[in-house]
Structure 1
Amino acid sequence: MVEEKKQHPKRRPPSARLTRRSLAFVAAGAVLAAVATFVVAGFQGADDNGGGGAGSVVTTGAVAGEAFGTATGGDCLTWTALDASDLAKVDCEQSHLFEVVADIDLSVFPGAEWGPGTRFPSVSRFTQLRDEQCAPAAMDYLGGRFDPHGKFSVGLINPGEAGWAAGERTLRCGLQFSSTTGNLLPIEGRVADQDQSRAWDPGVCIGINNGVPADPVDCAKPHAFEVAAVVDLSERFPDALPSIEDQDAFLEETCTARVDEFLGDPEALRNKTLTLFWDNLNFDSWLAGSRKVNCSIGTQVEGGGFAAITGSAKGDILIDGQPPVPPPDDNGRLLPTPLPGAAPLPGG
């Protein structure tokens, strides 16, 4: 593909950039949907219509345990039970799910909302508290170096309905690693000591759910796209954040070369009808120290979603259950792969 680019320098940027922009839009939608239902790291409040019904959210009385009751900034917590009732403190170098940045005592807040006998807050109220109290606490905890678009997100653990009924009013704010669908992924080491770039390792396949990227899966299972490379933008831009245009120019060339190397054949991307796309970094991410982005490969479908790919792109794949058909060679000239549903190319 590098050689092809040299022969036809005007090829590829429009479709590749379209796919990259679409990925950002689709992924953001999935994250927003996850936030609406997963805002407190497994300790959600009752729904707005009251608890106890078939659709109510399961909560936990983990406040009865010492780990929640004594957790403070710098402690790391983990659990395995769905309701997190086995919550425990662990060394932060060990695998964990939550790094506490602050404990917030609601009993000292003004107003009657938090007094004895008050109703357990709803998910939306806990979401407000997370945004109002936990987001700034996380920024302070990290000395201002928090990437709001990176791999870590701000979470909140509440005491659960049982703890609330017993009079516990302390919340724990913390940092967590959430997947696209909102599931928590393990963390090893303190966040302050890590690169916060939201970049997956090469060879990771991101699952698919109704055309939308989901959680990492084995590449033998249906997935939206496969990560082919990680690029450190500081290699080319060591001093200041480059513009999106400069990022795109650098990443078009670099990702093309890295993907060709990943696949082992410069014609593989074309022959398997896959499209290359990449991520960009913005000012907030750069300021927090994030420098890495992914080069990924997948197939976009009409409407902005993704086709389901089965198998690693390094070998044989199926796209929506069918083997890919390489585009024709028109008098020796390689044609760009059209997006599904696109009109035939002139002369095709």
Structure 2
Amino acid sequence: MSRRSSVIGVLLAALAMVSACTGSDPESQADAQRQPPSRIELPDAAEETGSTESPNVAIQPAEGLPIAGECMILADFQSIDCAEPHTLEVASIAELPAELPRSRPEDAEMLRLTETACAEPIADFVGSGDINATRLHPWTVWPSEEGWAKDERWLLCGVAELGVDLVPVSRTGSVRDALVGEPFYDFQACLPDSPIEATTLQYVPCAEPHRAEALPGVLPLPGGPNDPMPTVEEIDELAGPHCAAARSAYLGGSDRDDITLSWRIPEQDDWRRGSNSVVCYVSTEEPVGELLLGIGDRPLPE
């Protein structure tokens, strides 16, 4: 069987595009629209397999899968030296539960299953749970419908760097331990608008004019995808003091009237997929051309 027809299935960025957000006052901005940067590549339709019940099958691994630490070009699913331009780095290869239905679940359900399964190995790979505060994001790959019908149940947990359009960009070098210590700021997420005002999440390079900066110290919320999501008020009670402490550590000084604190929280769909974290931000009224890190009491940069 060809590698492409068997291995290339659905490629989805498991990015938590959360839209409810709040500033230092606890009023939530819940009317924003969510636009996940999904890029789906579907193979030719596989032969109908009939029953959707879980059979007793021997799970078959796909041939030629890359291993953790290898890099790839998503377009052709080919391994490549990480020193060469690539769009995905493999954090881990795992197996999906054997009891899943004979017919592959719909994409939304697959994304829910894979995001939860990939969260820990990806955090371990990049060296931090702060990935949601960066331009690095999980990118999960699972078997095509044809491969699924042949009892493949592998799961590739990868890491991609997203560009301004939230699509993986070509990069060189490894992101293993990329979020440990100072290297975090090489991938820090900066936004063109305040998170309170933005209806969709966009990135801009932090060295270019921007109004918001994501802070290290992503806050995991209690509970999992099968538990009820906390209310906005409950999340705000947890996020307020956590983000205030993160702001003080980041700015290196006391509170300032010209730098606003805000945070973004999951929506219900994000929660059901296992996205259960809050990302804190500092933002300014006018764009700044460099990071606010360690600004203390100095004037805002132009």
TM-score where L is the length of structure 2: 0.48
Q: More relative contact order in 1 or in 2 (CA 8 Å, sep 6+)?
A: 2
Q: Point out the structure with max Rg over C-alpha.
A: 1
